[in-house]
Structure 1
Amino acid sequence: MQSAAQVKPLKGTLELKHLPEVKFSHIRNMTDDTGIIQHAIFNIPNRKEGYCIDDNARALLLCVLAGKDKSNELDPDLLQVYLSFIHYMQTPNGEFKNFMSYTKVAEEERGSEDSFGRTMMALGFLANEAPSRSLSRTGVELFTKAYCHIEKLRSIRGIANSIIGVCQFIKFNYPDDIKRDLVIQLANQMVSMYEDNKRAKWHWFEPVLTYDNAILPLALLNAYEITSDEAYLTVAFEAMDFLESKVFHNGVLSPIGNEGWLERGKTAAQFDQQGIDAMAMVLFYQQAYRVTRDEKYLVRMYKSYQWFLGKNDLGLSLYDESTGGCADGLHSTGINLNQGAESTLAYWISHIIVASTFKE
């Protein structure tokens, strides 16, 4: 088990005061032989809602990240379950279906571009950081089969997640000039979207702030790491400065609510706040610290993680230490007591990232 006492302080500037013990029981509870089930009724799997590749890709990413530290006690067989689900959902031409019913029916021709990007991101991490050569080879095979579809993406989140996945793959197969050229193409596309939407008081890639926002500047930080193009670094930090001005209030993270989002020139919706937004912030700050070695990003990473533990607008913990699950959102009247896969995985990915980064 990993506790706060085992995590090193930050060179005298910050100490992790509360980091719950690792408890993956709810992850195991939500997973069967097919994959991780999407939703829960409180902490009971809601089998009527079936499975999706979004959550199985996140679960695969969690297994890769957690597997680097043997003290995490995550069953290694779970990684094969999630990877097998992704393999099954890949279509003959390399795309991915997203949704599957509990009766094992997947009727879509293909899933969304966002789910495609999340899957490519997870497969990129698997290729680069898998616990075994055979698992890495499987990740490479699935990634390679889907790769030809990346340049056709139009969804900015699909593009951003794919950039991260391709950058991980380049680290696995370095150097790779062809994939580097694709990163440049996609990153330039993101920069163009940023410039098209930028206004005097609006420094963002779209005319609205919605969900999973920090993934967008995170992608450009990954592109910078591979290409050393300062333009990507500049846009990433400028956009993140803007995002921070909208979601940090008195040092407390308050993600954009999904009951209206934040349209340019309007007021942000405060609720409902989702765990994937806090996770995206954690991932961004980890990469920002790796690129700059500036410890201020570790402080912000920890503050973002604390959103799950009660440092939020309502002062309520979404993480449930009794089950190892995480509430599905922060509402104006309290927390959503259902502990679905997306929120629980968002918590545990954030936890593992924080713990591992502070151990470096």
Structure 2
Amino acid sequence: MTVRATVPAPTAGWTVPAPSFAHLARLTDDTGLFEHARHATVRREHGYCTDDVARGLVVASREPDPSAEVMRLAERYLAFLAHAQNAHGAFHNRLGFNRTWTDQPGLGDWWGRALWGLGTAAARYPVPWIRQEALLAFTRGASRRAVAPRAMAFAALGAAELLRADPGNEPAAALLADAATTIGPPDPDPRWPWPQQQLTYANAALAEAVIVAGDLLDNPPALAAGLRMLKWLLDIQTSDGHLSVLPSAGWQRDTPRLRHDQQPIEVAALADACATAATITGGQIWYAAVRQSIAWFLGDNDGGQVMWDPATGGGYDGLTPHGPNLNQGAESTLALISTLQHRATVTVFNNEGPK
């Protein structure tokens, strides 16, 4: 279902709302995080997935002063990931509402995101027992290697979190180095400076993985390569001063680019990567990009559409030619929360201004 209700684009004085965990709590039961919703109503028949639970643990662990509700969410997400992991470090991805796994453990994107969530919790979470349990599961999973660049990129983000907290963590360092190798160097062609011939989803996560590998492993060429990749992604996804992110269909090199449907996950990945680049380099272009990412959810996008529901705290599932898809599933809500968690970065940009 879609609706078209044009709103004014954010101005210089707009206020960034604090992220709300209300809808995430609505989507969560005593087992895990439900994947889909019809509007704001949970669709239990679609069950749970490790992909979303892992991202839930990421955002819960990022909260500097988590409420009791957020702490309960983190505990449930950690328990889900521990249950999903087998003795060899692989993870199941899909659990039915009947609490039965519908797949075999593997090393797909969900493995990478599980390590992202576990690494973030092990590095940041304020409760010691959660940090310890997360580190145990991360270390077991970090002994494995995926073939897919995206899976390795997501895992690298968790490894980077751990290395910032514990620079001597060898499993995390080895995983981060291998991830950068798996992603590969950008193409030397300035028209397509990307390691692959197609852009698909969460593209900025690959650039961010290369950036953090270059920074934390003292590899300046890798850092420069990752920043070049991210700058290009930002350039091709900016239109008239606002973000116009790649659609769910992606973009194959040397083919026409589509404009819809745009997914919140692309905006969240850009916000994360640009916030990381801002922290490492201090470049104002990255601060401004984080501001644009937040503004996308607030209505500064191709359709002039607000992409979340303040009444529920949920994020809309996509921007279509006819307006937002009003379903508020886990992925889009997590993307909203994740992006709004960078509001302090916007404060830096507003205080210092573009340079």
TM over 0.5, yes or no? yes
How high is the sequence identity, in percent, across the aligned residues? 28
**Residue in structure 2 matched with residue 62 of structure 1 by the alignment:** 59
Separation in 2, partners of 1:16, 1:134: 42
Asked if 1:28 is matched to 2:18, the reply is no
Q: Where does 1:288-307 land on structure 2 (aligned, <5 Å)?
A: 288-307=277-296
**Residue in structure 2 matched with residue 191 of structure 1 by the alignment:** 184
Separation in 1, partners of 2:341, 2:231: 25
Asked if 1:204 is matched to 2:201, the reply is no
SS at match of 1:270: coil
Structure 2: runs of 5 or more not aligned? 1-10, 350-355
Q: Post-superposition shift, 1:350?
A: 0.8
Q: 1:48 to 1:208 in 2, by over 3 A?
A: same
- Asked if the contact 2:143/2:171 (under 8 Å) is kept, the reply is no
**Residue in structure 1 matched with residue 3 of structure 2 by the alignment:** none
Asked if 1:348 is matched to 2:337, the reply is yes
Separation in 2, partners of 1:322, 1:177: 45
**Residue in structure 2 matched with residue 180 of structure 1 by the alignment:** 173
Q: Post-superposition shift, 1:112?
A: 5.2
**Residue in structure 1 matched with residue 312 of structure 2 by the alignment:** 323
Which is bigger in relative contact order (C-alpha 8 A, separation at least 6)? Answer: 2
**Residue in structure 2 matched with residue 230 of structure 1 by the alignment:** 220
> 1:315 is matched by which residue type in structure 2?
G
Q: Post-superposition shift, 1:177?
A: 4.5
Q: Post-superposition shift, 1:167?
A: 1.9
Q: Post-superposition shift, 1:265?
A: 0.8
Separation in 2, partners of 1:57, 1:358: 28
> 1:48 is matched by which residue type in structure 2?
E
> 2:41 is matched by which residue type in structure 1?
I
Asked if 1:131 is matched to 2:126, the reply is yes
> 2:268 is matched by which residue type in structure 1?
M
Q: 1:35 to 1:253 in 2, by over 3 A?
A: same
SS at match of 2:324: strand
Choose which of 74, 77, 84 in structure 1 pairs with 2:72.
Answer: 77
TM-score, scaled to structure 1: 0.89
Deviations 1:247-285 (CA, angstroms, capped at 9, x unpaired): 1111111111123x2111112110111111000011011
SS at match of 1:285: helix
Asked if 1:254 is matched to 2:251, the reply is no
Q: Post-superposition shift, 1:228?
A: 1.8
Structure 1: runs of 5 or more not aligned? 1-13
RMSD over equivalenced CA pairs, Å: 2.0
Choose which of 136, 139, 148 in structure 1 pairs with 2:143.
Answer: 148
Q: Post-superposition shift, 1:21?
A: 4.2
**Residue in structure 2 matched with residue 165 of structure 1 by the alignment:** 158
Q: 1:200 to 1:26 in 2, by over 3 A?
A: closer
**Residue in structure 1 matched with residue 253 of structure 2 by the alignment:** 264
TM-score, scaled to structure 2: 0.90
Deviations 1:22-56 (CA, angstroms, capped at 9, x unpaired): 43221111110011100001100000100000110
Q: 1:78 to 1:201 in 2, by over 3 A?
A: same
